[in-house]
Amino acid sequence: MRAPKGVVLENDAEIAAHAREIYIQAGRSHAMPPGNITEMTVEERQLLAAWFESAAQESATR
């Protein structure tokens, strides 16, 4: 099975490269994972959003 849009998230570099898209698709819009097949919880989505937002804030202060 091929990953949607060819996006593979198997290591830190791939995750970092797609952080904004992950944040939007899983942390905010709930479009990922498709059909919520992994049963991602509200708490996990909040944690993901907090991770991205804290990294973005840290980056902005540099």
At 39, is the pLDDT very low, low, confident or very high (cuts 50, 70, 90)?
very high
The Cα 53–Cα 57 span in angstroms is 6
43 falls within a domain: yes
51 falls within a domain: yes
Work out whether the CA dihedral 18, 20, 24, 30 comes out positive or negative.
positive
25 falls within a domain: yes
Which residues neighbour 21 within 8 Å (Cβ) at sequence distance 6 or greater? 7
33 falls within a domain: yes
Indicate whether 1 pLDDT > 90: no
- CA torsion angle for 49, 53, 59, 62 (degrees, to 10)? -150
The Cα 30–Cα 40 span in angstroms is 9
Work out how many domains the chain is built from and give that number.
1
Q: Which domain holds residue 15?
A: 8-60
The residue-averaged pLDDT of 35-41 equals: 92
* Global model pTM greater than 0.75: yes
Indicate whether 62 pLDDT > 80: no
2 falls within a domain: no
